[in-house]
Chains A and B, each alone.
Chain A
Amino acid sequence: MKKYLFIPISIMLAACQTSQVTSDDVERVDSQKQFLSQAVMETPYSAVVKHTRVEVVELPEDKFNSKHIFYADVIDTIRGQVLENISYTMLVELGEEAILDTKPVIITLCKDDGYYWPGTGAQFSANKSLLKIAKQNVKTTGSDQTNFSDCD
């Protein structure tokens, strides 16, 4: 009898653990959905990328800021020029930690002389539902768009 009880209890415990992780994940993805659409529509470039390297560059003419230059392989272009790999700049205050996360992510970028980071909230999880939302939103944008509010 004990043997028969053990199996359902084990399954219940496993289900609880799985459910907790999924709940957090769902909440995190839901919160991103609200902001992904705007990020894709209000920046000229978005893609699923895998970061490969980050470089810290000091600016001799600037005593207070430095640049973090991120390098990434492009897995799937959502908006903008189709590229195999990309690099972009993030301006940070001197001393900011440069963190390389190599999980695939959706990034949205601004562009002038090169690509640059628009600010906090420009990177999203690269899961199927978010990618679908991003691609649906691109269809509603015009190729002649020149004003991007996230890049003002």
Chain B
Amino acid sequence: MPKLPTSQATKVAAPDAFVTTVPWMKTAFAEVGQSEVKGLKANSRILEYFKASKFWGTDDSGGKNAWCGSFVAWVVKKHGYDPVKSGYRAREWKNFGKQIDTPIHGAIAIKSRKGGGHVAFVVGKNHDGKYLYMLGGNQSDQVSIARYPADVWDTFVVPSNYDSEKGTLPIYTKKATIAGSEA
């Protein structure tokens, strides 16, 4: 088990008491816990995520097969939305649906950085709004909810037909534990 960083992303336990009304978030919550298989074998569910984004990888582990984008593709596809082209790459999700100025529960958030970035669904914020809780794939090698500084996320998008005016950003209060890697 690798040694993990202590504060940028803080993973949260299973969201058993959290209720969502956003349809695709129900699907995403149900995937929490899906995790990579070390070595050459792969979790067949993660290979389904790959297929949703048309990614051709056969192994779910390692930086070259980072699958956060594929997870988002799988979730939105389940709800009738077409994933972006090259949806296996996090930054491509900036081209999905419509951009919104501020995060709301269920929005897709993109963190850009040289060499890929990260993409995940917004769950909620902490009490002072300095952190966002994100539900994403490939966070500590699994689908998990992790806490990130709010300012690392540069773009938020929702499906074009989604009424974002009615969206809210709830305070998420589940107990946090230390988290680790994503890509």
Contact = CB atoms under 8 A, between A and B. Distances in A.
B20 interface: no
A84 B4 CA distance: 36
Interface in B82-127: 86, 88-91, 113-117
B183 interface: yes
Place the interface of chain B in its size category.
35 or more
Main secondary structure of the interface of B (DSSP, over half): loop
B7 interface: yes
B16 to A, nearest CB: 26
A119 B90 contact: yes
Interface string A94-112: 1111110000000000100
B2 A90 contact: no
B144 to A, nearest CB: 13
Contact of A90 (B61, B91, B115): B115
A28 B116 contact: no
A57 interface: no
Place the interface of chain A in its size category.
20 to 34
B86 A63 contact: no
A110 B113 CA distance: 13
Interface stretch (B25-33, B64-72, B159-167): B64-72
> Which of A28, A99, A118 has the most B CB atoms < 10 Å from its CB?
A99
B8 A63 contact: yes
Contacts of B89: 119-121
Contact of B114 (A116, A121, A124, A125): A116
Nearest to A24: B58
Interface string A36-66: 0010000000000000000000000001100
B170 interface: no
A120 B4 contact: no
Contacts of B57: 120
A82 interface: no
Interface of A: 28, 31-32, 34-35, 38, 63-64, 68, 89-99, 110, 116-125, 152
